[in-house]
Amino acid sequence: MKLSSGGIKILLFLLILSGGITFAYQILKPSPTLKIYQPSDINPRLVDSTLQAQQQNHTIADFNLIDQDSNQVSRKDFQDKIIVADFFFTTCPSICPKMSANLKMVSDHFVDETKLVILSHTVTPEIDSPSVLKQYAKEYDAKDNWIFLTGDRKEIYNLARRSYFAAIDEPSTEGPDFVHTENFVLVDKKGQLRGFYDGTSKIDSERLIADIQVLLNDE
């Protein structure tokens, strides 16, 4: 069936109108935002009892640790970066290999992004020396945006339990005072908590990638 010239004009008008509506929607639709988590928003089992009532202004604490190249690093070294934090140990036979594989996926996705850093904290610093962490990093072909940290055990555990709220404070099969958690934690450049993810889940790790992009877009 052939369209008349009038029909063609109407069809073109409708196509242009449809395109204009789509364009306007893309401009006007709200951008996704991420919640800023306070201790009072988080599962109380993850939060130290002295912090559970805190409803504002929580940021991760300063720290002084050592990376896989034996460099001393602190919070100030990453103050303008988005942080993804996790807690692992190199001899872990269960969840850690899955977590590291998923972190590699995240790292590789943002390999050229200078505003992001991944911080993997060992929870067995007495075993995981800088040289051990360096070998572990090689096994996963870790890029420059993925840093492995060791140091004082008490400081690392306080970070997990009182800054990132990544671990439930309860006895584990490894001992009465041992951090063993699958959580990835997303932190913005101000040190605020912006998301929690199951590090053993590829789907959750893909959600982490999407949320990192939201924070990058916000800048």
pTM confidence score: 0.82
Q: Is 58 annotated as a binding residue?
A: no
**CA nearest 60: which of 211, 192, 206?**
192
Answer yes or no: is 180 a known binding residue: yes
Percent pLDDT > 90 in the chain is 66
DSSP string, 146-169: EEEEE--HHHHHHIIIIIS--S--
Q: How many CB atoms lie within 10 A of CB 210?
A: 10
What are the residue ranges spanned by the domains of the chain? 1-30, 39-218
Largest CA distance in the chain: 82
How far is CA 45 from each of CA 129, 161, 168, rounded to the nearest angstrom? 30, 10, 6
Q: Which residue's entry shows tokens 């009038």? A: 6
Q: Model confidence over 68-95: pLDDT tens digits?
A: 999 999 999 998 999 999 999 999 988 9
Name the H helices within the chain.
5-28, 96-109, 130-139, 153-158, 202-218
Edge-to-edge strand order for the sheet containing 116-122?
72-74, 64-67, 146-150, 116-122, 82-88, 183-187, 193-198
Distance between the two ends of the chain, CA-based, in angstroms? 53
How many residues make up the chain in this entry? Answer: 219
Q: Of the CATH numbers 3.40.30.10, 3.40.50.300, 3.40.50.970, 1.10.540.10, which one belongs to the domain with range 39-218?
A: 3.40.30.10
Q: 32-36, 76-80, 148-152, 176-180 — which one is most confidently predicted on average?
A: 148-152
How do beta strands 64-67 and 146-150 pair?
A: antiparallel
pLDDT tens for 17-56 read 555 444 444 444 455 789 999 988 888 878 777 787 777 8
